[in-house]
Structure 1
Amino acid sequence: MDYADLDPETKALCEATIGAPFEVSRCVGHGFLENVYRKSLLGELEDRGVPVEEEVPFSIRFKTRTVGTYFADIVVGRRVIVELKVAEAFADAHVGQVLNYLRVSGLRVGLLFNFGLPKVAFRRVIL
């Protein structure tokens, strides 16, 4: 699937979300722990009127058994997983992690933000 193939509501949620981390980065700067950025981003999204939830649980299944629970950092509009990192650069493992989260959650799109640089970086991950 491609970004262009997403439904209009999901696209609108992505677009509404993408600007918020840049405001967080501008105000907070870089070099803090992930939790600082998560709390700041939650506040910024709420201020913008974007529907957002924190620590949303999704069951991890193996065949017919539930074997664990994944807690998404942030879920926007019950359609978009937001994963935050504080790293020197994105790694393939970060994208793979978001893909796994999308599979577990049944959602189609994830936004990956890296606050470990002077200017926040992001990637869309589409399942």
Structure 2
Amino acid sequence: MENYLSGIIVDTCYHIHVELGPGLFESVYEEILFYELTQQGLNVKRQLPIPVIWREIKMDQGFRADLVVEDSVLIEIKSVASVEPVHKKQVLIYLKLTGLKLGLLINFNEALIKNGITRIVNNL
């Protein structure tokens, strides 16, 4: 399921990037990707609060996932000069906290979108 969804997400990102190119704010790409994926009939949650639990403390909103598709694939959107190792670690910890197995780190600020997509797995 995750790989099937990943294909749809990557293809959709490609089409968005071909039409708009790099250089817009992350929030713009997030809004458009959310719209395009929901138009394809997918269940997409946007800015989903994810709790963090530390011993007896539960923080109801430890972080917000940019997009979660079909409760299976987490998407973290960037529009930065370059993806840093900390961005990949961020997605991996999000996956661990949610129990999801696949995350896509998508940097729209690349000349070619294929160079801006990083698959991150958590026991997949």
Q: Does structure 1 conserve the Cα–Cα contact (< 8 Å) formed by 2:73 and 2:102?
A: yes
Deviates more, 1:14-23 or 1:77-86: 14-23
Q: Does structure 2 conserve the Cα–Cα contact (< 8 Å) formed by 1:16 and 1:50?
A: no
| Corresponding position: 1:98 with 2:91 | yes
What is the count of residue pairs matched by the alignment? 119
1:54-90 superposed Cα distances (whole Å, 9 cap, x missing partner):
1112111111211351211000100110000111122
Deviates more, 1:75-84 or 1:13-22: 13-22
Say which SS state the counterpart of residue 37 (structure 1) adopts.
helix
Say which SS state the counterpart of residue 123 (structure 1) adopts.
strand
Normalising to structure 1: TM-score of the pair?
Answer: 0.87
Q: Does structure 2 conserve the Cα–Cα contact (< 8 Å) formed by 1:98 and 1:112?
A: yes
Structure 1 outlier segments of 4+, above 2 Å: 47-51
Q: Which among 102, 118, 124 is matched to residue 123 of structure 1?
A: 118
Which residue does 2:34 correspond to in 1? 42
Q: Which among 13, 18, 24 is matched to residue 10 of structure 2?
A: 18
How far 1:102 moved relative to its partner? 0.7
In the alignment, structure 2 segments of 5+ residues that lack a partner are none
In the alignment, structure 1 segments of 5+ residues that lack a partner are 1-8
Q: Does structure 2 conserve the Cα–Cα contact (< 8 Å) formed by 1:17 and 1:50?
A: no
How far 1:51 moved relative to its partner? 2.3
- Report the aligned-residue RMSD: 1.2
CA–CA distance in structure 2, aligned partners of residues 14 and 86 of structure 1: 19
Which residue does 1:88 correspond to in 2? 81
1:22-47 superposed Cα distances (whole Å, 9 cap, x missing partner):
11111111111100100111111122
